[in-house]
Structure 1
Amino acid sequence: MAEHCSAVPGELPGCVICVSDPSEPDVEPSSCSGSVLCRGPGLVLCPAAVLVPFLQPAVPAWPRGDALPPSALRPGLRIVVLRAAPPPDAVQQHSAHPLAVLRCDAFARALPGTAEDRSEALPWFCWLRVPGLDAPGGTWTPWAPAAALQKGAALLACGTPFGALCPELFLNALSSGVLSNATGPRRALLLTDARCLPGTQGGPVLALTPASSPPRLVAVIAATAGCQAGQGLGLALLCSLDVLLHGARSVLHELRNLPPPLPLPQAHNSTAMSCTALVESGGSWGSGTLVAPRLLLTCRHVLQMGAPLRVTLRHGTTRDTVLQARLVFATAEASPFDVAVLELQGSVPSFQPPDLATTFQPGEPVLALGFGALGRACAPSVTGGVLSAVVGTPPVMLQSTCAVHAGSSGGPLLSARDGCLLGIVASNTRDNAAGTTYPHLNFCIPVSLLRSPLARYGCSGDPAAFAPLNAASEGARAAWRLQQRPPSTGVLP
């Protein structure tokens, strides 16, 4: 689990980029966020999409090469960097000029299939020289390679919502989250559940560290939370700073004095992080939660009844472990508890089962793991939030604010403090009338409902141990129909 880390750094490496054409005052300026990489010399990085309105008419947006020549831009552009200043100024303005507009090939190769309707400009970034940011003895912003981050690591996104609209109010707004997933060469593409609003593209993303050490710049925001297949993602796309620097070193002599990356503290990862599995059943797939070396929980709706079952452990450090499985038990369609129990044909090597939670405290930090949002392509995604509600006494439903996506059903909900298994994810929220999915409100089956059946099955091997899951009270049924709060007694025998 992620460790408690340092608070906000004293000087944030964020800024706003505003581009305009003085020869065409009727054309609206274009703006976005940016990342201050160095104060000696002053260097700023931002998405090249801010330049799209100001390309020469004959220039295709975007070419197939790796660099855009300065002649591709209209002459005489005014590029201004807005930077936080001490009161009473609040915001300082500095003129800037482009050094290079470069395509990040590693990031581009990681993009296909991750989102719909992405701009062709997405893999392109603009490097700016800002003399006004030169400072005596100025140095590089401390940085670290994203490849050193563990999933679930605490991140801090710094961006300015709405760009140059009202920087006095929005400059360098902060949002915390975790590293949800990573893919591509050198982990070029990252996902985070930090809330990144429109206009924050280009803002810096920092890996938090213990209080004695400064945060490390690890990525820049490439795209804010969008939609995929009609579903709200609640995740932002990041581009690793390491791959951006690697691709620009041969072009920009300003990078010749780039200091080496700083190390990142390795947070202790609970063994519970390894309990997530990919479950495939015919043409259906979802997630599963290992509770014993040969026993796995998932959701009934993940399975195509009668189809072969395959369980894959894919955690990115070793070769996939693929095991066949058989269905031990699935709740009836009429049961509100969407549960299936699978037995693997072989044991998972060196598996340590997660501890099962005995208490559920609203507001406690939690992590949801599953094969939604890039997970099927690489390894489980991780999103953080809080336990937003515990419904019923004893509990019949848990709700969390973790971003949960298609493919996450059956995955574990873990305590971020100690890694205890709280429950399994059953669904997120969808407004059928509006056709909108809300990933940050999801419903989970409490592990307390499963503890006794699992123990009885472990002793007897009789699938009838899980039969009480079909005998839920009317209060539990009403809760899962989203009709009313269940009564406080008599949920399950």
Structure 2
Amino acid sequence: MIDPNIPDTILSLPCMINSTAWENDIELVGSWSGVLLFSVKTNYLCIVTICNDRKVAIASSTKTHKVQVSVCISGKIIQISATQICRWKSLGIESQLKAVFNAAHQWKLLYSEKDQEIQIPILSMFSLYQIDDLLAGSRIKNYLMTDSLSISFEKIKAGAKVNTISYPFGPRITEIFAATLSSGIVSNVCEVADGLFMVDARCLPGSEGGAVCSTDGLNTSKNLIGMIATSLFWKNEELVGFAICCSIRHIISSLVLTYPKSTFSRNFGILHASIPETDFISSETGPALLTARIEISGGWGTGVVCGARANASECHLIICTCKHVIEGTFSSSGQKIYVTVEGIRERWMGHVIFATKKCSAFDFAVLNVPVPSYHTKKVLNHLVYHSTHQNNQIFQVATCVPSKLQKGVPVNAKGYGLFDYDCQVGPTMTQGTISNIVNHAGKAVLIHSDCLLHKGNSGGALICQETGNLIGITVNHVKDQQTGVVHPDVSFSIPCGIFMPALRDYMMTGDSKVFEQLNSHHGDTLRIWKLEPSSEKVMTLRKLLCKL
């Protein structure tokens, strides 16, 4: 007799599913990823996957639909047969998908550039299969007991490190792509509920249904937390580069709601397992850096909360951003700037303290934002106390130490790229490394990283992945003016060393003239930011051309 009061341990293992179906006498062959689940308490083995393709949906429309399953065990591919038990839809995930990927915002969900656009209802469909081959199933169970992932209903947080494990590109080349692993981070989580999230990891076509796993300190896969829904999607005809994922907690919960316990035999206790919800360990070690969404004239960008002045009666945030984000305020005196700090669903008014002139090398601006008293403590918890001056307490963002500012350092970019305000998502995080640091007169003036940046990321934060401290303010990515090709993974940032000294002086004195030193950076620094070669290199190139 199985005791329902004893928590179950659910083990999991990624697999590949191959299926053949017929539509109007045409054979449809499909291949996608899935996850084997094994209940230690009930000794039951099954497979859960996503029905996110027309071929899959047609094939699984019959309850007795059979598939071939491939799983990599100790470097060998084992093939087993399985039969579908049921198919269901998660209404919660469907509603989140509709809220985030609204058609009016020009999203396009595809598996590859040649495929038809995916309809959102299909992305919230899932299937459950049972293993037909008992002998092979027994071998898999033995392997799962020694080398597998546990299921965990962890609270998914943006910025947390994850691995994805899947079987892309189908059965013909399984030996090459079996259990393919890609490392990344959680980019974003739906604010309404964490059933839907995105990861910045390189998920290939055919990864749909694959596993998303939390990791330990050594980047080793630890617990199954979600499943890949689609690996490729576009916005405004540009490849985004993220994968859309569904949490395993929401997938199993939706199945329990769809099919009550009485529908299944006791062996299906895997679907009603008592698994405690735990916290997802974040990679941040200090106060989590705050970003803000800045809106003006229907457009938006990002800002970073870099400091604050507070006393007994009031608190003012100092937010750094890019000048082009608030450009509209200079052409019309009636333009208002609305600021929404992450984690607080309120819009506050922002006021421009400083913006660089056209002659400056830097695209930089500073905003002052009064904070309602009931939110003062919450926002100050994300800053570090610096000093007290004339009854004002001065707080600043934690910045990266100079020794961490070097090529190859892992970094994250954080900002409000891609998603409109009504999409119910917070700031998006992407991962990368510092590709290069450009110095002038012994000082870093430009940081080049390979973090993905999209529209809306301007003014966001470049963060040291190890410490969570601020490295710089993201400005732009690169677009080839001749071909029109956008390179979202070639991005540039203004180093903290350029603006933080002036910002500290301003918070101490209240005098915005201290920022004028940013207008003195022109000449070679301006040339660097315009991606222009030096005059010496131009002369060398001319000589070479003459010789040719």
Q: TM-score, structure 2 length as denominator? A: 0.76
Determine if the alignment matches structure 1 residue 311 to structure 2 residue 339. yes
Who is 1:458 aligned against?
A: 507
Distance 2:218 2:518 in 1: 47
Partner amino acid, structure 2, of 1:413: L
Q: 1:299 to 1:212 in 2, by over 3 A?
A: closer
* Shift of residue 483, structure 1, vs aligned partner: 2.5
Distance 1:366 1:145 in 2: 27
Corresponding position of 1:7? none
Cα deviation, residue 134, structure 1: 2.5
Moved more, 346-355 or 408-417: 346-355
Give the share of equivalent positions with the same residue, in percent: 23
The answer to whether structure 1 residue 343 and structure 2 residue 368 are counterparts is yes
Please tell me whether residue 198 in structure 1 is matched to residue 205 in structure 2. Answer: yes
CA distance in 2, matches of 1:335, 1:100: 63
What corresponds to 2:413 in structure 1?
368
Superposition pairs for residues 7-156 of structure 1, below 5 Å?
13-21=13-21, 27=27, 29-38=29-38, 40-50=43-53, 52=55, 55=58, 70=62, 79-86=67-74, 90-112=76-98, 113-114=100-101, 115-117=107-109, 118-120=117-119, 121-132=122-133, 134-135=137-138, 142-146=150-154, 148-156=155-163
Letter in 2 for 1:82: S
More helix by share: 2
Deviation at residue 402 of structure 1 after TM alignment: 2.0
Match of 1:64 in 2: none
- Aligned pair partner of 1:261 in 260, 268, 275: 275
What value does the CA root-mean-square deviation take over the aligned residues? Answer: 3.0
The C-alpha deviation readout for 1:250-275, integer Å capped at 9, x for no partner, is 42735424433353453364555342
Amino acid at match of 1:46: T
Aligned length, in residue pairs: 456
Identify if the C-alpha distance between structure 1 residues 368 and 299 changes in structure 2 by more than 3 Å, giving closer, same or farther. Answer: same
Q: Structure 1's 374 and 414: CA in aligned 2 closer, same or farther, altered over 3 A?
A: same
Among 480, 487, 502, the alignment partner of 1:438 is 487
Residue in structure 2 matched with residue 6 of structure 1 by the alignment: none
* Aligned counterparts of 2:412 and 2:245: Cα–Cα separation in 1: 20
Query: CA separation in 2, counterparts of 1:486 and 1:102?
Result: 65
The answer to whether residue 369 in structure 2 is matched with residue 355 in structure 1 is: no
Alignment-derived partner of residue 531 in structure 2? 482
| 2-structure distance, mates of 1:346, 1:446 | 27
Q: How has the CA–CA distance of structure 1 residues 268 and 192 changed in structure 2, closer, same or farther, with 3 Å as cutoff?
A: closer
1:60 aligns to what? none
Conserved? CA contact 1:107–1:239, under 8 Å: yes
Supply the distance in 2 between the matched residues of 1:122 and 1:107 (Cα, whole angstroms).
Answer: 8
- Deviation string for 1:393-432 (max 9, x for gaps)? 4111112222222111111111112222110111122334
Counterpart of 1:99 in structure 2: which amino acid? I
Post-superposition Cα deviations, 1:116-150, rounded to whole Å, max 9, x if no partner, equal: 2451222112222123453357679511225x122
For the pair shown, which has the larger CA radius of gyration, 1 or 2?
2
Task: Give the direction of change, closer, same or farther, for the CA distance of 1:110–1:478 in structure 2 (3 Å limit).
Answer: same
Deviation track 1:31-62 (CA, whole Å, cap 9, x = no partner) reads: 11111122743311222135626728xxxxxx
- Give the match for residue 61 of structure 1: none
Q: What is the deviation of 1:474?
A: 2.5
Question: Residue type matched to 1:48 in 2?
Answer: C
Change (3 A) 1:168 1:443: same
Deviates more, 1:381-390 or 1:449-458: 449-458
TM-score by length of 1: 0.84
Q: Does 1:296 align with 2:319?
A: yes
Unaligned 5+ segments in structure 1 are 1-10, 57-67, 488-493
Unaligned runs of 5+ in 2: 1-10, 102-106, 110-116, 309-316, 384-395, 537-548
Aligned-partner SS, 1:111: helix
Q: Distance in 2 between matches of 1:483 and 1:211?
A: 41
C-alpha deviation, 1:362, in angstroms: 1.0
Sort the Cα spacing of 1:116 and 1:485 in 2 relative to 1 into closer, same or farther, 3 A: farther
Alignment partner of 1:408: what SS? Answer: coil
Range with greater deviation from structure 2 (284-293 or 184-193): 184-193
Q: Is the 8 A contact 2:159 2:187 kept in 1?
A: yes
- Aligned-residue offset at 1:333: 2.8
CA–CA distance in 2 between the matches of 1:486 and 1:444? 24
- Are the counterparts in 1 of residues 320 and 364 from structure 2 also a CA contact under 8 Å? yes
Secondary structure in structure 2 of the residue aligned to 1:297 = strand
Look up the SS of the partner of 1:55 in the other structure.
helix
Aligned residue for 2:433, secondary structure, equals strand
Contact 1:32 1:164 in 2 (8 A): no
Following TM superposition, by how much is the alpha carbon of 1:199 offset from its aligned partner in structure 2, in angstroms? 0.9
